[in-house]
Homo-oligomer: A and B are copies of this chain.
């Protein structure tokens, strides 16, 4: 029933009777028009709001929203997004050392702060296709960190658990993708020609409440082995909303 009302309202919007910025009829009017109770109507309205069709201003009314069609969504995971199957991950090194400027800035460390640095090489088709560097602030005697060092040869899910325990909720992540000229170290490890370009994907994991950084990772990928596909968010929200 509330879904039917949603469709009705969508029609009046899309069919052009209403344009962005226009006000919808008041809720009491719409209750009569569609023959539903207030709560039911409001359920419809909030669904429309979630789908980006409308927004409401307390004391004034509900308005048609200009749709934001420039938002995209994608799924990314360091090991699952390469263009060919990962068949081996090799642990290169686990070190505790002074952070570089880049790492210091991103992890908001003190000057000369120390970090745990885990370096891994990702193989596909017997070839090294990606180099992964995970930096975590080093806090001596923290079980999490010590564990992280001990088990650093395991990757992926286990990695996350070790780093954050049960804190899988309440995290925000930020990803930056660009193309950079590979430095000597990367060229050697990925066995590519000097001066070649590679993808650089940096991933920063932060706490959601105060944005304090937990890890800062760099992922260098041979450019033929990565591409990204993103889509406009689904409208399927309908099923999730209530």
Contact = CB atoms under 8 A, between A and B. Distances in A.
Contacts of A208: 235
Nearest to A77: B70
Given A166-B14, A169-B13, A169-B53, A175 B69 contact: no
B241 A50 contact: yes
A176 B228 contact: yes
Interface in A134-157: none
Interface in A56-83: 66-67, 69-77
B232 A171 contact: yes
A238 to B, nearest CB: 12
A72 B173 contact: yes
A169 B70 contact: no
Contacts of A172: 231-232
A77 B73 CA distance: 14
A124 interface: no
Interface in A171-190: 171-179
A71 B66 contact: no
B46 A231 contact: no
Contact of A72 (B74, B171, B178): B74
B46 A241 contact: yes
B174 A229 contact: yes
B230 A175 contact: yes
B46 A16 contact: no
Nearest to A209: B235
A226 interface: yes
A32 interface: no
12 contacts: A13-B169, A49-B241, A50-B50, A66-B168, A70-B75, A71-B74, A173-B232, A174-B232, A175-B230, A176-B227, A176-B230, A177-B228
Interface of A: 10, 13-14, 16, 19, 39, 42, 46, 49-50, 53, 66-67, 69-77, 160, 166-179, 197, 199, 208, 223, 226-233, 235, 237, 240-242
